[in-house]
């Protein structure tokens, strides 16, 4: 692999026979830039383009008092740049209640709040039991999300991207 990369970045020009040439160093740099962009998008460092989702996931009960998430002042997330709808995670300590192979599910201390807006004012509001789901591995396309209860399963309803992870320690914290 190292030989390949050294060869890719070695400065040389390939003659096309018509006087024009291709600088292989520039080609390699462009390929590296494209690869980094794809990797960053796939690893959850950029927020998902569409926040709302409806994905039901089968979970199993879990309990570990040492695993909690704390949201000191509450957090509001908007679905679009126009802020026409939003989700509020209430302040408090979120306790681990379930897990699956990919996520831990932390129950909100009070219901999640959903609002839609028209002309900057709320026009519809409702609440639902649920919480925050946090990926067990940080390199995921959806590293965290909001969920609502669906009996023995949980329904992912709001994708949170790398911007959520970047807020750890300031807007939320985990105990583990």
Per DSSP (E only), the strands in 120-166 are 121-128, 130-135, 144-150, 153-160
pTM of the entire predicted model: 0.69
* pLDDT tens string 6-26: 443 444 445 555 555 555 555
Contact 94, 134 (CB under 8 A): no
**pLDDT of 64 above 90:** yes
What are the pLDDT digits (tens) for 122-173? 888 999 999 999 999 877 789 999 999 988 899 999 999 889 999 999 999 9
Confidence grade of residue 79 (pLDDT, cut at 50, 70, 90): confident
pLDDT of 81 higher than 80: no
Residue showing tokens 């105990």: 175
Q: What average pLDDT does this structure show over 60-71?
A: 96
Determine the Cα–Cα distance for residues 137 and 139; give it in Å rounded to an integer.
6
The pLDDT value given to residue 7: 45
Q: State residue 137's pLDDT score.
A: 87
* Mean pLDDT calculated for residue range 36-65: 68
Q: Domain segments of the chain: what residues? A: 2-42, 52-174
On the 0-12 / 13-18 / 19+ scale of CB atoms within 10 A, 59 is buried
- pLDDT value of residue 25: 57
Reported confidence tier of residue 36, pLDDT bands at 50, 70, 90: very low
Give the mean pLDDT of the chain: 79
113-147 burial, b if ≥16 CB within 10 A, otherwise e?
bbbeeeeeeeeeeeebebbbbbbeeeeeebbbbbb
**What is the spatial distance between Cα 52 and Cα 79, in angstroms, rounded to a whole number?**
6
């Amino acid at each position: 692999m190292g030989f390949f990369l050294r060869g890719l970045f070695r400065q040389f020009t390939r003659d096309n026979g018509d006087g024009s040439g291709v600088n292989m160093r520039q080609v390699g740099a462009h390929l590296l830039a494209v690869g980094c962009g794809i990797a960053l998008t796939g690893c959850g460092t950029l927020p998902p383009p569409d926040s709302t989702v409806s994905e039901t996931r089968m979970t199993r009960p879990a309990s570990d008092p040492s695993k909690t998430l704390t949201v000191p002042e509450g957090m509001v997330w908007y679905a679009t740049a126009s802020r026409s709808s939003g989700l509020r995670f209430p302040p408090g300590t979120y306790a681990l209640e379930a897990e699956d192979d990919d996520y831990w599910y932390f129950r909100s201390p009070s219901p999640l709040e959903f609002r839609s807006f028209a002309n900057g004012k709320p026009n519809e509001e409702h609440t639902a039991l649920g919480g925050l789901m946090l990926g067990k591995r940080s390199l995921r396309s959806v590293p965290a999300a909001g969920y609502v209860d669906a009996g023995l399963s949980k329904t992912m309803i709001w994708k949170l991207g790398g911007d959520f992870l970047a807020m750890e320690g300031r807007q939320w914290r985990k105990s583990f």
